[in-house]
Structure 1
Amino acid sequence: MHVQQNGTDAPMTEATSAFDPKSGNVLERLVFNHRPWVLALAVLITVVLGFLAAKLEVNASFDKLLPQTHTYIRNYLENRGELRGLGNNLRVVVENTEGDIYDREYLEAMRAVNDTLFLLPGVNRPFMKSIWTSGVRWVEVTEEGYRGGAVLPANYNGSPQSIADLRTNVGRANLVGTLVANDLRSSMIVVPLLDRYADTGERIDYGRLGRDIESQLRAKSASLVPGKPGKIKIHVVGFGKLAGDLIEGLREVMLYFAFTAAIAAGLIYAYTRCVRSTVLVLSCSVVAVVWQLGLVRLFGYELDPYSMLVPFLVFAIGVSHGAQKMNGIMQDVGRGMDKYVAARYTFRRLFLAGFTALMADVVGFAVLAVIDIPVIRDLAVTASLGVAMLVFTNLILVPTLLSYMGVSGRAAQHSLRSDEATDSGRGLGKLWDLLDRFTERRWALPTVLAAAALALGGFVVSLHLQIGDLDPGAPELRANSRYNLDNAYITSHYGLSSDQFAVIVKSERDGCLKPQVLMDIDRLDATLRDVEGVQTTTSLADAVANVSAGLNEAAPKWISVSHNQNLVNTAVLRAQDANPDVVNSSCSVTPVVAYLTDHRADTLGRVLEATEQFAATHDRADVRFLPAAGSAGIEAITNIVVKQANRTMIVLVYLSVIVLCMITFRSWRATVVTILPLILTSILCEALMVKLGMGVKVATLPVIALGVGIGMDYALYLVSAQLTLMRQGADLAEAYRGAVRFTGKVVALVGITLAAGVGAWAFSPIKFQADMGILLTFMFLWNMVGALVLIPSLSHFLLKKVPARAQAGAALKPLEAN
């Protein structure tokens, strides 16, 4: 009997003619006996979720980067309203390239920049600071008493005299090194940002903020001084600008998505020689991404720079599973089986392995939710949603569509020739023959020993893995990015760095007026200044000591906190008038700010440890010393959370994977064979991070979990097929050869495809995406090698004999019947 199939006459096998549509499990019958309804449902969901996905926004949130349940971060959140300038703010530096700041043209340009920033949406305007704002004041002691006023003279008109007065006031206010550069060639504007727009109540759009800065400041800087386009330069740093740059860089990321899809299409077509099935696999993976993005919008989430790569991973995982289904159907059709029957048999053989692998991915991503950082939790939710969608789009929709479309006659013949080459050891068949040898003891033993040596060496190297940022500036961006160049300029020209570690000194109302409280603050100042990595500190105690000296003819012996309550009261009031940031209006919250040389994890750890030790011995009922605020303080706490979460996450990921393997295989030996290659890859990935100078931080923390999920896909397909054949009576070598022939070749194909696709991320302008691309490329390749080489080697020692189970082996019998 013959059946017309895909334009070619192919003999119908006995398995085809005898196929019972009522066979298979409930899910298989539900899907394939109601195919039109399945496809209609898929179209309806795609239209609805596609509409929602089109409305999805990309934004960032300062608060989502905070481990909000940590005690120290709660200290900051409870007092953030009293800590001006120690949270989310921009630092905008206006540089005069042709002179110093005491230049009429420069000062007019500075005023224009200040006014533009003041009017930007989302700016906390009353607390802006610059030489053009009235809140920046000078104070001096004269024989007649205290005098003071705004740094910018009230009668400023650009005349030489008013500029000379400004110069005097800058010196009086001691602004050099803070708001004025050490070389006097630039000045700074500190711009605190609100969490939400004051008029609409919506969260700040950092993408819009970044564009406004570029279009309204940087782009117009050339015209600020007519006829001198290069005289004024603008430098901007701060979370808002960093987030804006990351969001802007994501536009380029879409090109990498297209590049990844093109590579996948090219390699899959080269393997199948079938346009229709290649397009189908890629399309179903894209559909999964659309569903994911639609659900993200439906549930009120949004994409941010840290979760933007999740759709790439969902697409990659979808390609992996879709290629396995396509390969199974192509092999059966190549042997003459009807496309409908081939689709059902492939579904029957691979659904459980695919479902288990996807559940392992879902659990692996979901485990990230235990990390006490909202941006990671959002990533966990969005990734889990995307992978869950693949159960329908790639495990069900791909075989359903292929049951209608089939594969081309050319592809079917190519599949037969490929199998013949494999059987005869020609072409790539030589490689598959080489892989068979790893089931033999003389190859298996050295391979296992080499893997153990690699694991040991990698573990030793991984012990040097560091937590947090290892580079200056913003490590999320390239060292030569505009943001990091701006940061380098500001760091080198200003005496105080932007890495601020603040200790919150909290007391009862008017508690800061107590001499004993001020003396303890002064002691904390001295303690922190002695810590390696601290440039200097500022506090209310410093200001009070200077005012006390001023009240006593500037005698050096009076530069201290006095026991005289009246003198202290006057000094605190004068200090508060000169700098409102040193204490709140009720005199109950005052920050001690340490300026650090860098934000490396060891520097942050030393400062935090010194603070904790001081608090342990000086906290009492009327005053407490609470870490932490400031950019460096928040990062120090984030590093603690990341360090704790790193090992917890890895343990939970592997425990969940082990449980799923035990449920699937019902064999601890098969579970060990599956897990050990994944563990080796994880260890080597951490060693690679050490060698590449990458720290474990918010951006890199999820990589290990993501890599384990992908590697699990490879191993499950291969081990499932191998076990099924062994339970049908095949020996280890025959079973492994059959597993490679059926699923292993696609494991190699997908590993190379995914590695080539994400390898392109290494050229991204966003460095943490480039880092993730490098690490994922490594993990994809090593997981592939581990699946193809270590699984047979380990199987030689652990799975040489498998008890026969007739019903377990039934799934592959149609393949062998051909």
Structure 2
Amino acid sequence: MSRFSHALKGLENRIVHAPFLILGLILLLTLFFASRIPGLKMYSDFADLLPQGHPYIQLHNQIRDTFGGANVVIVGVTVDDGTIFTNDTLGLIHRLTQGVDSLPGVNHNLVSSLTHRTARKVWLTEQGDINSEPYYDPIKHYYTAAELAQMQNDVRANPRIYGLLVSPDLKSALIKGTLNEGALDYRATFDTLQAMRAAEARDGVTIHATGQPALVGWVYSYLGQIMQIFLYTVLIMLALLVAYFRRFYGVLVPLIGITISSIWGLGIISLLGYNLDPLTLVIPFLISARALSHGIQLVERYYYELPNAASAADAARATFDSLFRPGSLGVVSDAIGILLISLGSIPINTKLAYYASLWSISVIVTVLIAVPLILSLLPRPKPLGARDNVLHRLLPAYGASIAKPRVAAVVLAAAVLAYAGGGYLSSWVQIGESEPGSPLLYADHDYNISSKAINESFPGSEELFVIARTDEKGGLKRPEVLQALENFQKFMLSDPELGGAKGVPDLVKQVNRLMHSDDPRWTQIPSDPAYVGGLLFTYMASSPIPGALKEFLNPEETDANLVFYYKDHKGETIRRATYLLKQWINDPANKVEGLSF
């Protein structure tokens, strides 16, 4: 016997001969972990879903307070008949816009809608002054047919509204709101959003809602059902235990083990300062199921040892001696497998790997040690008696058959072929999402229906941000920089799956046209940086709302946000978009001094 085996055997002997001491220590630790459970919080942290070390995510963290992050609520309003340009529908859109602007944690400067104060008609007066007014005035309440027709024509003339916030067929409108990622409350946001949809529901109008906050909110809404499923599963396992053992010990002792294990696991999560994410609830449940499985094996072995043991304590010691080492090996292998998840770069997986592996390894104490010690202190039960059922006849016959050399060789060969076939088929697996919408929910779910409806009427609900950066303050006003950005937009628009784009070159051209009596020939980028700066100032001054340029560039005019609209975020779509933008950026012919992406 090796020195390690000898030491392990000595440890095992000390454990089984001091049941009160060991169980007392386990009880104290259980009470300690139980005291930590009230501090455990269940919520989703958006940052945990993103690989924080990736350059794209690092850029996202830098610009989210300026240009907005990924937590965007999108509400769509679609009328069955006519257009949205009626008093009732415009009033509905305005109330929904006010509701989105009142969502918990919303960035009020990044709310957009046809009826929002930032959506304005801008024109040049005969005196050369720039005037602006909102398309919709909520104080007015009633618009005549002529006024509604004029509003419709004005919207069609504004490419920043028409197509992006109002659908080309004029039957749908969008309300967008970006949430501050430091103040996210998905549950409150979703509850408010759903209450708003319910309050404004009416015949002839459909109100859709999509976006990351809506998706996470739907997941939260099913927590009750998830808990019901877990409860039903526990009841089924309890019924199976009763049917299998038909003895009090066979039911109670494994449940004691899984209860202790669950308390330790939840206490470990709280002790580490982690949150319990609803998206990962299945993993703790699987660990608990594995703990229950080990407990059942121990009780089964205990009953097997009873007829040959002088006492219940001897049967428990024999059980511990037989199953502690192989059981520990299984638990350790499970824990190592779970810990390997931490090799990824996504924080939610790293946290899961750490606390789940510790939870899993704790099963050695909470089940493999605790259950035999509990059995050793309980009175000797009556023997189960001989069992004669299908499994007890089938399994020995199966074991005897599979142990034959020829049969074993066939089974191993089949396993190798299955492994090779699985490896080949795995090459067909798509990395990333394979369907539009969210795979977390069924295709006919309200969220995916909303996503599909919005994408059918608009360029796309999925936004790709590309940040163009110059190395000097005000560098974005240089004509060659703006021309490069416009060329980049045109190149990206060669992708047939791209629904549209938005950027500062479009804004500069629109304002330049406006300053020249709305002559289409002046829809061009000026050749003078000072003139470009004047156009940007003119646009900013025409809006009574601070931060009119925030969606396009930062205050220092060094960073520009180019937005590209896609209808989904499938893996194929993301890879194609990334390939195209890198292809243009890496082309030496497109290089501009001082400009980077």
Same fold (TM over 0.5): yes
Q: Is 1:42 aligned to 2:15, yes or no?
A: no
Deviation at 1:528, TM superposition (A): 0.8
Aligned partners of 1:191 and 1:128: how far apart in 2? 4
Given that 1:89 and 1:190 are in contact with CA atoms closer than 8 Å, whether structure 2 keeps it comes out as yes
What is residue 624 of structure 1 aligned with on the other side? Answer: 596
Deviation at 1:512, TM superposition (A): 0.8
Given that 2:16 and 2:373 are in contact with CA atoms closer than 8 Å, whether structure 1 keeps it comes out as yes
What is residue 504 of structure 2 aligned with on the other side? Answer: 540
Given that 1:499 and 1:597 are in contact with CA atoms closer than 8 Å, whether structure 2 keeps it comes out as yes
Equivalent runs, 1:516-531 vs 2, <5 Å: 516-531=480-495
Aligned amino acid, residue 205 of structure 1: D
Richer in helix (by share): 1
What is residue 53 of structure 1 aligned with on the other side? Answer: 37
Q: Is 1:441 aligned to 2:409, yes or no?
A: no
Equivalent runs, 1:141-540 vs 2, <5 Å: 145=128, 146-153=130-137, 156-160=140-144, 163-164=148-149, 166-174=151-159, 175-197=161-183, 204-215=184-195, 217-222=196-201, 229-405=202-378, 408-411=381-384, 413-414=385-386, 417=387, 428-494=392-458, 496-507=459-470, 508-540=472-504
1:171-227 CA distances to partner (integer Å, 9 max, x unpaired)? Answer: 343323222233333322211111234xxxxxx231232222223x133224xxxxx
Q: Is 1:562 aligned to 2:541, yes or no?
A: no
What is residue 117 of structure 1 aligned with on the other side? Answer: 100
RMSD: 2.7
Structure 1 residues 317 and 406, CA, compared in 2 at 3 Å: closer, same or farther?
A: farther
Pick which of 472-481 and 559-568 moved more.
559-568
Structure 1 residues 165 and 43, CA, compared in 2 at 3 Å: closer, same or farther?
A: farther
Given that 2:70 and 2:212 are in contact with CA atoms closer than 8 Å, whether structure 1 keeps it comes out as no
Pick which of 259-268 and 550-559 moved more.
550-559
Deviation at 1:410, TM superposition (A): 4.7
What is residue 3 of structure 2 aligned with on the other side? Answer: none
What is residue 89 of structure 1 aligned with on the other side? Answer: 72
Deviation at 1:615, TM superposition (A): 2.4
Aligned partners of 1:196 and 1:77: how far apart in 2? 11
Deviation at 1:470, TM superposition (A): 0.6
Pick which of 103-112 and 463-472 moved more.
103-112
Deviation at 1:241, TM superposition (A): 1.3
Given that 1:321 and 1:395 are in contact with CA atoms closer than 8 Å, whether structure 2 keeps it comes out as yes
Deviation at 1:429, TM superposition (A): 2.4
Gaps of 5+ in 1: 1-22, 198-203, 223-228, 626-818
Pick which of 499-508 and 31-40 moved more.
31-40
Structure 1 residues 612 and 280, CA, compared in 2 at 3 Å: closer, same or farther?
A: same
Deviation at 1:575, TM superposition (A): 5.5
Structure 1 residues 133 and 597, CA, compared in 2 at 3 Å: closer, same or farther?
A: closer
| TM-score of the superposed pair, with normalisation by structure 1 | 0.66
> Once the two structures are aligned, what percentage of the paired residues are identical?
25
Deviation at 1:120, TM superposition (A): 2.8
Q: Is 1:132 aligned to 2:105, yes or no?
A: no
| TM-score of the superposed pair, with normalisation by structure 2 | 0.89
Deviation at 1:522, TM superposition (A): 1.1
1:703-752 CA distances to partner (integer Å, 9 max, x unpaired)? Answer: xxxxxxxxxxxxxxxxxxxxxxxxxxxxxxxxxxxxxxxxxxxxxxxxxx
Deviation at 1:336, TM superposition (A): 4.3
What is residue 65 of structure 1 aligned with on the other side? Answer: 49
Q: Is 1:603 aligned to 2:573, yes or no?
A: yes
Deviation at 1:96, TM superposition (A): 4.0
What is residue 778 of structure 1 aligned with on the other side? Answer: none
Gaps of 5+ in 2: 1-6
Given that 1:138 and 1:172 are in contact with CA atoms closer than 8 Å, whether structure 2 keeps it comes out as no
Aligned amino acid, residue 303 of structure 2: M
Aligned amino acid, residue 310 of structure 1: I
Aligned partners of 2:398 and 2:409: how far apart in 1? 15
Aligned partners of 2:26 and 2:86: how far apart in 1? 67
Deviation at 1:143, TM superposition (A): 6.2
Structure 1 residues 406 and 605, CA, compared in 2 at 3 Å: closer, same or farther?
A: farther
Given that 1:155 and 1:162 are in contact with CA atoms closer than 8 Å, whether structure 2 keeps it comes out as no
Aligned partners of 1:385 and 1:601: how far apart in 2? 33
Aligned partners of 1:281 and 1:367: how far apart in 2? 28
